[in-house]
Amino acid sequence: MIRLLFHLFGAIQFCYGCYYDQVHVTPPSTSTSVTPFGGKLKYLTHLDAIIQTVYFTIALMNDLFGNNEPTPSEKPLIRRIKDIMFSALAFPVAMFVGITFWGIYAIDRELILPRSLDPYFPTWLNHVLHTNIMVFILIDLITSFRMYPRKKIGFSILCTFMLSYMVWIHIIYFKTGSWVYPILNVLNWPVRIIFYVICLGLVCSLYNVGERLNRYVWYKEVEQTVKSGKKKAK
């Protein structure tokens, strides 16, 4: 029951965060140089909030109609979707968004969240989108067992998502002449490419971190599932 309520609260929280960000955070063009083209979907923060909303909703549905057992007699489709989504998107993207945002914010907040946006972007929303995403996904890792997919599958989904986003922000730039994030304005092209490579390497590293943490927290369950899979294969 506690797990179910946790997933329900997570789904409601991130859904409301997406709604508030989409509807109520509308700074005038004079307070930011970012083009309105692409709407909120040009921000990885907003896309991640959508991912978290979908993930926690799926986790809630799994609590109600699926299962969280290490070796169920039959693994429901909702459970398989939940496990893959956590592994390939929900955990690594949430940690990447939180770490990069607060890391850049600590160096120079004007590069990621200019002070001119403070009257329009409330502090509570900032923490929902940049702090709670990490806190909630870590709590979920500790409280719910999942089996990571093969790395080929997990990395393929994660890299496809991240590379698609990189293409998307460049489409916005070439169409409008404006970068989504102020930090990209102060980087020349060679440094910008290095920045992208570092970001991609970081998010892939976070995938591995999530997998190792999951194995550490759920060591017995993971071993039990692996043994069960080998017996079925025989």
Ranges of each domain in the chain:
2-233
pLDDT one-digit tens code per residue, 136-177: 999 999 999 999 999 999 999 999 999 999 999 999 999 988
The predicted structure's pLDDT at residue 39 = 87
Distance (Å, rounded) from C-alpha 13 to C-alpha 85? 19
The predicted structure's pLDDT at residue 101 = 94
Q: Is the pLDDT of residue 76 over 90?
A: no
Q: How far is CA 116 from CA 14, 28, 102, 111, in A?
A: 24, 10, 18, 12
The predicted structure's pLDDT at residue 72 = 60
Between 26-30, 78-82, 102-106, 121-125, the lowest mean confidence (pLDDT) is in: 26-30
Strands of 70-223, DSSP E: none
The predicted structure's pLDDT at residue 100 = 94
The predicted structure's pLDDT at residue 30 = 55
Q: Is the pLDDT of residue 5 over 70?
A: yes
Q: Is the pLDDT of residue 99 over 90?
A: yes
Q: Is the pLDDT of residue 91 over 90?
A: yes
Provide mean pLDDT across the span 81-90.
96
Q: Is the pLDDT of residue 234 over 60?
A: no
The predicted structure's pLDDT at residue 29 = 63
Give the DSSP H or E segment for 198. helix 189-217
pTM of the model: 0.91
pLDDT one-digit tens code per residue, 178-226: 888 888 988 899 999 999 999 999 999 999 999 999 999 988 888 877 7
Give the DSSP H or E segment for 185. none
| Inter-residue contact 158 to 92 (CB < 8 Å) | yes
State the pLDDT confidence band at 73, using cuts at 50, 70 and 90. Answer: low
pLDDT one-digit tens code per residue, 7-55: 999 999 999 999 999 999 888 765 555 667 788 999 999 999 999 999 9
**Which residue, chain included where needed, has tokens 């570092």?**
198
Region of residue 177 (left: phi > 0; alpha: psi -120 to 50; beta: else):
left
| Inter-residue contact 206 to 95 (CB < 8 Å) | yes
From the list 207, 167, 181, the residue with the least C-alpha distance to 104 is 181
